[in-house]
A and B are shown apart, each in its own frame.
Chain A
Amino acid sequence: MMTLETELCGVLLKNPMIAASGTFGFGEEYSELYDISCWGAISVKGLTNRPRSGNPPHRIAETASGMLNSVGLENPGVDAFMRNELPRLARQGIPIIANVAGSTIDDYRESVGKLSDSPVSIIELNISCPNVREGGVQFGTSPERVREVTSAVRSCTSKPLMIKLSPNVSDISEIARAAEDAGADAISLINTITGMAIDAKTRRPILANVTGGLSGPAIKPVALRMVWQAAAAVSIPIVGMGGIMNADDVAQFMLAGARAVMIGTANIVDPMAGPRILAEIENFMQENEISDIRELVGGLRTS
Chain B
Amino acid sequence: MKGDFHARVISNVSIARHVSDISLQLSLDAGEIDPKPGQFAHLSSGGVFLRRPISIAGFDKKNSRVRIIVRNAGIGSGAIASLIPGESIRMLIPLGSPYPLDLFAETAGVKKICLIAGGIGAAPLIFAADFMREFNEKKGKEIFSVESFIGFRDKISSFGLEEFERAGTARPVIGGLVTDALEKSLAHDRPDAILACGPEPMLRALQGIRGLNGIPSYVSLEAHMGCGVGACLVCSCRIATDSGHTDDDNVRYRRVCRDGPVFKLSEVVFG
Contacts and interface: CB of A to CB of B under 8 A. Distances in A.
A225 interface: no
Interface string A1-41: 00000000000000000000011110011101100000000
A71 B234 contact: yes
Nearest to A217: B49
B247 A269 contact: no
A95 interface: no
B49 A29 contact: no
A60 B271 contact: no
A28 B247 CA distance: 25
A23 B50 contact: no
Interface in A62-98: 62-67, 69, 71, 74, 76-77, 80
B240 interface: no
B233 to A, nearest CB: 5
A299 interface: no
Interface residues of A, number: 39
What is the predominant secondary structure among interface residues of chain B facing chain A? loop
B49 A52 contact: no
B233 A62 contact: no
A272 interface: yes
Interface in A49-67: 51-54, 56-67
Given A53-B246, A65-B49, A272-B4, A60 B234 contact: yes
A159 interface: no
Interface in B184-231: 223-231
B54 to A, nearest CB: 16
A268 B50 contact: yes
Contact of B232 (A25, A58, A65): A25
A35 to B, nearest CB: 14
Contacts of A65: 49
Contact of A60 (B90, B225, B248): B225
A271 interface: yes
B233 A269 contact: no
A48 to B, nearest CB: 11
Contacts of A269: 44, 49-51
A59 B230 contact: no
Contact of A58 (B44, B90, B224, B228): B224
Interface string B28-72: 000000000000001010001111000000000000000000000
B235 interface: yes
Interface string B230-271: 111111111000000111100011000010000000000001
B26 to A, nearest CB: 15
Given A33-B2, A57-B237, A71-B232, A63 B223 contact: no
Contact of B2 (A32, A53, A74): A32
Nearest to B2: A32
B173 to A, nearest CB: 27
Contacts of B234: 59-60, 69, 71
B73 to A, nearest CB: 13
Contacts of A64: 49
Interface in A261-303: 267-272
Between B48, B229, B232, the greatest number of chain A beta carbons within 10 A of the residue's beta carbon is seen for B232
A52 B48 CA distance: 32
A188 to B, nearest CB: 19
A85 B4 CA distance: 25
B86 interface: no
Given A53-B253, A57-B236, A60-B226, A25 B231 contact: yes
**Ordered nearest first, which 7 A-B pairs have the shortest CB separation?**
A51-B245, A25-B231, A60-B234, A59-B234, A29-B229, A29-B231, A29-B230
Given A54-B253, A271-B229, 19 more contacts: A25-B232, A25-B233, A28-B230, A29-B230, A29-B258, A30-B229, A53-B253, A57-B235, A59-B233, A59-B234, A60-B224, A60-B225, A60-B226, A61-B224, A64-B49, A67-B226, A69-B226, A77-B245, A271-B4
